[in-house]
Amino acid sequence: MHVTDSFYLGARHYPERLAFAGEGGNFTYDAARLLANRIAHAARAKGLGIGNRFAVLSPNCGPAMIVQIGCLRAGMAWCNLNLRNTLEGNVDILSRGRVDALFYHSSVSEQIPHFKAGVQSLAHAVCLDAEDANGPSLAQWCDGQPDSNPDWEIPADAFGLQGATGGTTGQPKLTQSDNHWLFMSNLGWAVCLHPKAPPVNLAVAPITHAGGMIAMAQWAMGGTSVMMAQVDLEAILKTIQERRVTTMFLPPTVIYMLLAHPKLKDYDTSSLEYLISAAAPLAPEKIVEAIGSLGPVICQAFGQTEAGFPLTFMSTAETAEAVADPAKRHRLLSCGRQTPVVEAMEVMDEEGRILGPDEVGEIVLRAPSIMKEYLDDPQATAEIKKFGWLHTGDIGYRDRDGYWYITDRKRDMIVSGGFNIFPFEIESVLMAHPAVQDCAVVGVPDEKWGEAVKAVVLLTPGREASAQELAELCREKLGGMKTPKSIDFWEDLPRSPVGKVLKREIRKAFWEGRGRSVG
């Protein structure tokens, strides 16, 4: 099967129900199907199909998602591209990725000449939403094409996804995955989410990344995805109330801001069934606060561009149970249990030995959605697939009940005085303070210890805390070795286009001119 089969199933069962609404206009399933068909036929007529790559550069909107359906239906591979990347970064991804077709929103029209000049493979640049001087409109590109359902066979093992990794440590790698990646992710979410009625998904996070996976998972159920072009906290609350939103995916940082919003209680959020978090762990105290404010709607998942999403899932019921039962409160640190779309998931030491429950090591896995390789990087491919497993780069463990805990990223480990210190443990303690909205812990140069622990803190608006107060909290919970030697307060934290805190940028401020970023 192919990922678009679930959309066509939804169109067959719910032709008059809205598939997409909000930014970009309203499209019923039938209207979206007909447009996707014309896009697919246009792509094939222009010689684009299996083996070719397309990308979409747009804020969240209905036409952007419909283009994804049409191009995928033509057999093309989707290259995810983020609107919030730099122009140079996106030129690099398109160029290294040898992308054939770019579908863009008129708001970025001025960038198109740069893409045409810098990306030799780019044969088509199509404007999604308007007549534009830098490329034909989508309507023009599809003009004269039939709207009948394509019946081309698209093999499951054909090239289906070219994923740009998060890039939190530098230039993003480009994964090469077959159609299993998208299909299994779609299936995984369909298994994990059980809406009481046809879902209404508020697409706030970029549909070019994990937000798109959540939207795709609604199709077979006849769900509506309400598109929001940018994060607007009050607009989110208003839309939940007016559209009776049931499902929403947000990175932790936006959830924290939403919980701190002064008008949160002014809106009716009772329709919400699932508030999904991923990309980084949610602080346990914020989960408790969220359930108190929004009800038992919090769930978490773990996924990777290299391997699929969701690989693990912590349901709303499990999360609420952990909040209510002190004996299970530790599970609030978990990203859940292995989902059915993963063949095997284990913990491995540096020598390739599989470890048992409660033993800490690198999380490794096997799944049908695992990428084939990194584009043009056999060394990195061999490294991530050593010992016959996909190495996630995440340090963690599995408890005896099957719950997975990610204790940190392997690359973020601090080595101070010969001891390994994992920032997430310290960040979790800091996040328990009511004045802390977000934080990051990094290693900074220290003549005696090599690296010293530093915390960079973003305070909740209207709240105050001193460095001494936060240090004492850490000392009480963690002891002296893990207590930050210094705490700085910043007005904002640098983030990737998908909301992850960029620790490399924080470290850079303290390691500048040293020629390396470890002690």
**pLDDT tens for each residue of 377-424:** 999 999 999 999 999 988 899 999 999 998 877 777 787 866 778 788
Tell me the pTM.
Answer: 0.84
State yes or no: pLDDT of 325 exceeds 50. Answer: yes
Residue 166 has pLDDT above 80, yes or no: no
Which pLDDT band, with edges at 50, 70 and 90, does 514 fall under? Answer: low
Whether the link from the prior residue into 310 is cis, omega within 30° of 0, is yes
- At 513 the pLDDT is 57
Q: Which fold has domain 231-409?
A: Rossmann fold (3.40.50)
Mean pLDDT comparison of 120-124, 219-223, 304-308, 514-518, highest-scoring range: 120-124
Does 461 have pLDDT greater than 70?
yes
Collapsing DSSP to helix, strand or coil, 517 comes out as coil
**How confident is the model over 357-382, as pLDDT tens digits?**
999 999 999 999 999 999 999 999 99
Largest CA distance in the chain: 72
User: Domain residues of the chain, as ranges?
Assistant: 4-184, 231-409, 417-511
Q: Do domains 4-184 and 231-409 have the same CATH topology?
A: yes
CA angle centred on 422, ends 419 and 424, rounded to 5°: 160
468 neighbors 425 (Cβ within 8 angstroms): no
pLDDT digits (tens, 9 = 90+) for 186-231: 999 989 999 998 999 999 999 988 899 999 999 999 999 999 999 9
CATH class given for the domain over 4-184: alpha beta
Fold of 417-511: GMP Synthetase; Chain A, domain 3 (3.30.300)
Q: Do 160 and 76 form a contact (C-beta atoms < 8 A)? A: no
- pLDDT value of position 504: 82
Q: For residue 433, give Cα distances in angstroms to 149, 280, 282, 368, 428.
A: 55, 18, 14, 41, 9
Which three-class secondary structure string do you get for 199-255?
A: CEEEECCCCCCHHHHHHHCCHHHCCEEEECCCCCHHHHHHHHHHHCCCEEEECHHHH
Which tens digits make up the pLDDT trace of 245-301? 999 999 888 898 899 999 999 999 999 999 999 877 788 889 999 999 999 999 999
DSSP three-state, residue 476: helix
Q: Concatenate the DSSP letters of all residues of 101-168 into one string.
A: EEEE-GGGGGGHHHHHHH-TT--EEEESSS-BTTB-BHHHHTTT---SPP-----TTSEEEEEEP--T
Asked whether the predicted pLDDT for residue 169 surpasses 60, the reply is no
Q: Amino acid letter at 230?
A: Q
Q: Report the amino acid identity of residue 128.
A: L
